[in-house]
Amino acid sequence: MTTIPEVLVISSRNVILPGFEQPQAATIRVDVHTGIIVDILQQYLRDEPSGHHHLKTRWINAGDQFVLPGLVDTHVHLQEPGQTDWEGFWTGTRAAISGGVTTLVDMPLDCLPPTTTVANLQMKKEAAEGQCWSDIAFWGGIIPGNQAELKPMADGGVKGFKCFLIDTGTDEFPWVSESELRTHMEELKDTPTVLLFHAELENPSLTGCHPQKYGDPTVYQTYLDSRPEEMEVAAISMIVRLQQEYPSLHCHIAHLSASTALPLIQTAKRRGSKLTVETCPHYLSLSATPRFNRHPEFKCSPPIREDQNREKLWDALIDGTIDCVASDHSPCALELKKLEEGDIMGAMGGIHGLGLGLSLLWTEGKKRGVSLAQIVRWTSEKTAQLAGLSASKGGIKVGLDGDLVIWDPNAEFEVSKKDLHFKNKLSPYEGMGLRGVVHQTFLRGRLVYDRKQNGFDGLEPVGNLL
Ligand SMILES: [Zn+2]
């Protein structure tokens, strides 16, 4: 097909619509020029209604296959500009759409320069231009002394700001102390934005992450001992305390791993704090076992903990203590993983997993009675809200963008390198049997991924900077 259709119509017996726990029969119409959903008929149509044939319509009868809204992944490290041997906009966004993720929000660190000034934000935007297969937005960064850049960066489009309470391992993105953080919170308190925390605090009274104190660097438990749950608990206590000083400011805890922090979060939420919490597919689908030994691909911070912890995270997600799930796709060049040495303590951390999240959550969620509607809320609706994108993303609704995913919930596959579309093809999920496959992904009504056509053949990147 050479001409781009003017209208996309997808009909299915199983559409995940906002407000419904069960999949609904529906026919969705998208105006491809504006990219917006213009009509939803709550009825399954086998054939294209006559009278519409004169329009250049792409008609898709999805039958029993499911139709979901595109996912919004608010935690990815695309590393570009500056560190494109780790990841890049082209490969990262392709990995996203192969897994039904149609919007990414990029983290401000691991790229060079980091997104901590207006000028650096501009460089980000220029680097992304023309390369994105998904839509993309940016988080800004908070580092000591950059408070004067925050409001101009918010005006320049960043959706919120990420800070670290512990050493990031990179010189360009230092962590902030409590007093420095107060300066930034003071600056942002009247701005409608969100402050995201890497919530681990190195407390001198704890053992802390001093590898030399520990045992065998190839044993996973050594790493686990170096980043105990108390570090997350200490950070989150500080955040909820600061939030009482700045109640107007929305705070968000990125990648929660420690279930022992859940009571603190529940108390803060009951008090009415503007606090949201995210966890990640790796904390929900993996748990620490001796098979992690000598396998640095399982290393991330905070670490993946034991099985009991994982079950508590699932419970907290289901009861709403945890609001959403994002990938924290945080890749690096393979040589930094020290795979041959199996040196977990010496390896660069970060999970490579963008594109597999939906299948991971569905496979593991199903065992715990979770519905696709719940997964969509955690990965699309809530994450769109977090990034202030609810006016265009996060659900199948008239007026929102026509970001749609055709999904077979029953298809099974074993994860292998051919399923990894990101740059550095290594993942802790390789060899895992998963359920649920994306057949096609549409971005604002345009086909951007088609599994049958080798994924991307004959298609082009049409992602926007949001
Ligand atoms: Zn991250």
Task: Say if residue 375 is in the same domain as residue 443.
Answer: no
Query: What is the extent of the structural domain holding 323?
Result: 71-386
Distance in Å, CA 329 to ligand 1 centroid: 7
* Residue 3 clears pLDDT 80, i.e. is over it: no
Dump pLDDT digits (tens) for 14-24.
999 999 999 99
Q: What is the CATH number of the domain that holds 231?
A: 3.20.20.140
Distance in Å, CA 163 to ligand 1 centroid: 11
C-alpha–C-alpha distance, residues 400 and 402, integer Å: 6
Distance in Å, CA 215 to ligand 1 centroid: 27
From 46, 139, 12, 10, select the one nearest 447 (Cα to Cα): 10
Handedness of CA 419, 424, 425, 428 (dihedral sign): negative
Distance in Å, CA 49 to ligand 1 centroid: 47
Split at pLDDT 50, 70, 90, the class of 1 is: very low
Distance in Å, CA 331 to ligand 1 centroid: 10
Split at pLDDT 50, 70, 90, the class of 213 is: low
* Residue 286 clears pLDDT 60, i.e. is over it: yes
Distance in Å, CA 255 to ligand 1 centroid: 7
Task: Say if residue 41 is in the same domain as residue 147.
Answer: no
Residue 391 lies in a domain: no
Dump pLDDT digits (tens) for 139-156.
999 999 999 999 999 999
Dump pLDDT digits (tens) for 346-366.
999 999 999 999 999 999 999
Distance in Å, CA 15 to ligand 1 centroid: 31
Question: 404-414 and 57-69 as β-strands: parallel, antiparallel, unpaired?
Answer: antiparallel
Distance in Å, CA 175 to ligand 1 centroid: 14
Task: Say if residue 143 is in the same domain as residue 203.
Answer: yes
Task: Say if residue 51 is in the same domain as residue 188.
Answer: no
Q: Would you put residue 63 in left (φ > 0), alpha (ψ -120 to 50) or beta?
A: left
Task: Say if residue 27 is in the same domain as residue 142.
Answer: no
Task: Say if residue 330 is in the same domain as residue 442.
Answer: no
* Residue 400 clears pLDDT 90, i.e. is over it: yes
Tokens found for residue 32: 């491809």
Distance in Å, CA 107 to ligand 1 centroid: 7
User: Which amino acid makes up residue 9?
Assistant: V
Distance in Å, CA 398 to ligand 1 centroid: 33
Distance in Å, CA 283 to ligand 1 centroid: 13
Task: Say if residue 20 is in the same domain as residue 97.
Answer: no
Task: Say if residue 130 is in the same domain as residue 276.
Answer: yes
Distance in Å, CA 109 to ligand 1 centroid: 9
Distance in Å, CA 301 to ligand 1 centroid: 8
Distance in Å, CA 18 to ligand 1 centroid: 28
Distance in Å, CA 326 to ligand 1 centroid: 10
Q: What is the mean pLDDT of the chain?
A: 94
Number of domains in the chain: 2
Asked if 18 and 42 count as a contact pair (C-beta separation under 8 A), the reply is no
* Residue 345 clears pLDDT 70, i.e. is over it: yes
More reliable by pLDDT, 31 or 454? 31
Distance in Å, CA 108 to ligand 1 centroid: 9
